[in-house]
Structure 1
Amino acid sequence: MVDGAGRQFQTGRLLIFMRWVAPVLYAVLAAAGVFLLAVVTKQPRHDRDWYPHLSRLPHVELQDGVFSIAPYGNWTYTEDAPEEMIWSGVPPHRISDVRRVWFVMEPHPGLAVMAHTFVMFEFGEGDLVGLTIEARKETRETYSAMGGAFNKFELMYYWASPRDLMTRRAVMMDRDLFMYPLQLSQAEAEAYLTSLLEKTASIERRPRFYNTLTSNCTNELAKAADLPWHPAFILTGGADRALYGQGRISGEGGFEAVHAKAEVDACVRENAFRPEAAFNAALIACAE
């Protein structure tokens, strides 16, 4: 039973709460509401001041099973910076000529649960076409997983030569790289390439936001391949192990042996300044 003094004490505490704490809570809730409103009403755009290597949106021509892409990144990198900032194009290729699809992992240094992933399509001797799916950053922006969950970045499908994609990471950024051949039938490889080309064309017509959870580099690739969902498509550092478990990466001796054999960053550094076709041939030889 609460006596009069107790009731007065409780009433005093309530008044203190209403006077000092409640306004702070209201302000926090109001700020959160304004932030969420800004997130849901923000519109993705193509016309921002982008990082140079993400500045040119690829255009895909796709008709009767033949595709071409331009512009196509074909940059080269030294340990310090880009050396040659070349934009070229992928000449007409028949989708039915795709021979193999390669999956590449770039583990995040110091954060084992995260990695960047991308793919390369092999058509013939020294003929590789690469694709990385990126959070399209503006100049002076840095990547943030939290920001990426709240419409901080647009989504970009960046098609580029393997030398561009691999030397940027292994030479300039000094990152580890692991390259695996995916176990896909011919029909699956063709459908996968077609899906990614169509998604690229769709983004050119209608910009989209990158999302750390639902539209990141790995789960965009997984959705295009119609793979069953796996937590590693969000915690992307386990993507290669997940694909091994699903039978999309194979090899003898268990995953650790396959993983060790797939490391190619030293090979990339050794061949970084060779002509493009020679670089591609050396890269495949290292990964096989």
Structure 2
Amino acid sequence: MVPAALWGAGLLAYRLPVTGVLAGACALLWLLLALWMAARVIRGRAGWHIAGAWLVSVLVAVAWWTSMTPQQDRVWADDVAQRLHVTAFDGRHVVLDNVRDFTWRSEQDYDARWVRREYDLAQLRSADLVLSYWMGPAIAHTLVSFGFDDGRHLVFSVEIRKERNESFSALGGFFRQFEMTLVAAEETDIIRTRTNARGEDVYLYRIEGLDRSQLRALFAGYLQQARELDAEPAFYNTLTSNCTTIVFDLARQIEPGLPMDYRLLASGYLAGYAYDQHALVPGVDLATLKAKGRITERALQPQAQQDYSGWIRRGIPGMEQERAR
């Protein structure tokens, strides 16, 4: 009963269609009444009317929850306004519409640009794990950047599809507050905005142990996710459908034996999980990989303006000789 009371309070706080203060007051009132009813039941002092009121309230909350449906047609924030669309894919050649290629000067000052990109998956050469920290060591946003023989990179990122003037809330993500979107973007957009515009702390790691066929399978997994979200919207969930779980789900399609681990939730430690699974550069300890993979300061240097992808990879194990062409 206590977990149900907490869940109901969160549902009211984050989904009640009233002002934040009023929603918070309603949530608090519900929580106090629910805990009072739970205490009466525990002490054996609850009559049928209290137990019945409790049951009805829970059923109403569940019915409300199940009636919520994700939408495609809200007034979206500019950076998630378009849905990634797989225009064509024959198993090798792919055409993508609405690849994001923004120029960011600050979080509020940017040039919006959505472009069409074509890729030959026979030229896939690498996949890099990107972790961006903004709220302490335990939580990071997870991205995967694919590199091609011609020097280009494409980054995939699962994010909330926030409405205009809406901001991320980890707790709100438990209560169907946000739809989910898959962003495909240039590194000069989606990574640079984190290092340069938002002031986040960003780390880059080369993923090892995948041959080209496995790289293609991982890339194709993102394309399938894009098609599903393009056809039918879905809710973001902080626990089960987020930026890290999709990477794990796709990786498990290639390596079914990957174990569950707390670091899949505490995504700030995801590099340690990948290291333990022998998915990072062998022969280099994790502390060195982390120290050399920190790209935050390099991304801010003037040289990054001319060759962002090549410059941020300078000195990273597994990428030492790599340059964008």
| Interval of TM-score (by shorter of Structure 1 and Structure 2) | 0.7 to 0.9
**Pair 272,57 (structure 1): closer, same or farther in 2 beyond 3 Å:** farther
CA contact (8 A) 1:108 1:237 kept: no
RCO comparison, higher one (Cα < 8 Å, 6+): 1
5+ residue gaps, structure 2, are 1-39, 320-325
Instruction: State whether structure 2 residue 323 is matched by structure 1 residue 285.
Output: no
The residue aligned with 2:228 is 202
Superposition deviation, residue 252 in structure 1: 3.8
CA contact (8 A) 1:108 1:115 kept: yes
Residue 191 of structure 2 aligns to a residue whose secondary structure is helix
Matches of 1:273 and 1:76, distance apart in 2: 14
**Pair 176,88 (structure 1): closer, same or farther in 2 beyond 3 Å:** same
The residue aligned with 2:182 is 157
Cα deviation 1:90-131 (Å, max 9, x = unaligned): 1x2111210000110012333x22110101110034311111
CA contact (8 A) 2:195 2:201 kept: yes
Instruction: State whether structure 2 residue 216 is matched by structure 1 residue 224.
Output: no
CA contact (8 A) 1:167 1:272 kept: no
CA contact (8 A) 2:304 2:311 kept: no
Superposition deviation, residue 280 in structure 1: 2.1
CA contact (8 A) 1:267 1:286 kept: no
Identity of aligned residues (%): 22
The residue identity in structure 2 corresponding to 1:85 is A
The residue identity in structure 2 corresponding to 1:188 is Q
**Pair 271,189 (structure 1): closer, same or farther in 2 beyond 3 Å:** farther
Given candidates 39, 47, 57, the residue that maps to 2:73 is 47
Superposition deviation, residue 48 in structure 1: 1.0
Given candidates 152, 177, 183, the residue that maps to 1:127 is 152
TM-score (norm 2): 0.75
**Pair 210,124 (structure 1): closer, same or farther in 2 beyond 3 Å:** same
* Coordinate RMSD, CA, aligned: 2.4
What does residue range 257-272 of structure 1 map to in structure 2 within 5 Å?
257-271=288-302
Given candidates 195, 209, 216, the residue that maps to 1:170 is 195
CA contact (8 A) 1:75 1:86 kept: yes
Cα deviation 1:249-282 (Å, max 9, x = unaligned): 124442111111100011222258735xx22222
Instruction: State whether structure 2 residue 85 is matched by structure 1 residue 85.
Output: no
CA contact (8 A) 2:77 2:162 kept: yes
Superposition deviation, residue 28 in structure 1: 6.7
Cα deviation 1:9-38 (Å, max 9, x = unaligned): xxxx99xx779xx86x87676555433322
Alignment length, in residue pairs? Answer: 267
The residue aligned with 2:102 is 75
The residue identity in structure 2 corresponding to 1:267 is R
Matches of 2:164 and 2:54, distance apart in 1: 30
The residue aligned with 2:305 is 274
